[in-house]
Amino acid sequence: MIEERHYTVRGVRTRVLVAGDSEAPPILLLHDGGWGASADMSWESMIPILAQDRRVIAPDLIGYGGTDKIYNFAASTVTVQIEHVLALLDELGIISLPFVGSSFGGTMTIRALTDPNYRRRISAAVTLGGTGGPWKTPKAPAELTRFDGTREDMRRLVRLLGIDDQDSDYVDRRLAWSHVPGHYETMSAPRLTVPDAIRRSVPVNDFPKSLRGVNVPTLIIHGVEDDLLEPDWGEHLASELTDARIEILPAGHCPNVTMPERTAEIIHTFLTDCALQRLASARMTHQPNKD
């Protein structure tokens, strides 16, 4: 059973979907960053599956779903979202857990791995179509950033995500989230034109080199029919990480929506392997020295 809760996290009213035994190992699910996105639009079919042996935590990010519509013009959007999620985990008393992200949620997860202060909170990382930023096809920024608020245009966006646009319930519910006051403005804020006289210089971005040496177990799930990302994005990302594996599915950008059972199975197997590796490592560490 999925329960909807609300928390005030550093002054931000935050909607969170939770499920599973409160004593079970927790898992964090981060939704995509498209128009009308929310925790349920990304994860509602997977949450009951994962909740069979996990405590599932799936928040609406700032600006989305039932969470407050706020935009910080002085900080990186990814950083703001990561810190909001970590503050939520503090509120829940959770130190470390697996991060699983779809699209923008996957990018959040990958970017969090580059910062030691964030990375220590991540016991394992899973990204579904979230590259960390690069390796997008021209279609992604050209098509995903525009939206006229109509149902027909929402169907176009749903198709781009590889989701069946004939699913009227999904389209209508995502459209309803896109019409929540403040969502359109929050989504549009990053594209405001700033006059040259006050334009700030952009810090040098060393991604993906900043992932080198990161040994957090990472699973990269790639939909082979995803035409929003370059076909070899997963290989590029994995080559920078110390402990990464790739799973390719016959899906588009959001296999978590279109193939929830198979995607959940892959994630379950990955996390089980991670737990066994940690156990084996702990045994080796505590093995008596016979010398």
- The average pLDDT across 83-110 equals 98
The tokens describing 198, both together, are 């006050």
What is the pLDDT at residue 106? Answer: 98
Q: Is the pLDDT of residue 282 over 90?
A: no
- Asked whether the beta carbons of 129 and 225 are under 8 A apart, the reply is no
What is the pLDDT at residue 220? Answer: 98
Q: What is the pLDDT of residues 123-149, one digit of tens each?
A: 999 999 999 999 999 999 999 999 999
The model's confidence at residue 279, banded by pLDDT at 50, 70 and 90, is confident
Q: What is the pLDDT of residues 160-213, one digit of tens each?
A: 999 999 999 999 999 999 999 999 999 999 988 889 898 877 777 899 999 999
Q: String of b and e for 178-204 (b: at least 16 CB within 10 Å)?
A: bebeebbebbeeeeeeeeeeeeeeeee
- The average pLDDT across 41-47 equals 98
The amino acid present at 206, given as its one-letter code, is: D
What is the pLDDT at residue 66? Answer: 98
Class of 3-191+205-285 in CATH: alpha beta
Q: Is the pLDDT of residue 57 over 80?
A: yes
How far, CA to CA in Å, does 171 sit from each of 49, 256, 273? 23, 16, 36
- Asked whether the beta carbons of 14 and 45 are under 8 A apart, the reply is no
Q: What are phi and psi of 80, to 5 degrees?
A: -60, -45
Q: State the Cα–Cα distance between residues 3 and 17, nearest whole angstrom.
A: 6
What is the pLDDT at residue 174? Answer: 98
Domain spans, the chain: 3-191+205-285
Q: Is the pLDDT of residue 290 over 70?
A: no
Query: Over pLDDT 70: what percentage of the chain?
Result: 97
What is the pLDDT at residue 289? Answer: 61
Q: What is the pLDDT of residues 225-262, one digit of tens each?
A: 999 999 999 999 999 999 999 999 999 999 999 999 99
Average pLDDT over the chain, rounded to whole?
95
What is the pLDDT at residue 287? Answer: 64
What is the pLDDT at residue 243? Answer: 96
Verdict on whether the full-model pTM lies above 0.75: yes
Q: Is the pLDDT of residue 35 over 60?
A: yes
Which of helix, strand or coil describes residue 14? strand
The model's confidence at residue 54, banded by pLDDT at 50, 70 and 90, is very high
What is the pLDDT at residue 9? Answer: 98
Q: How many residues would you count in the chain?
A: 291
What is the pLDDT at residue 286? Answer: 60
- Asked whether the beta carbons of 252 and 258 are under 8 A apart, the reply is yes
- The average pLDDT across 267-282 equals 88
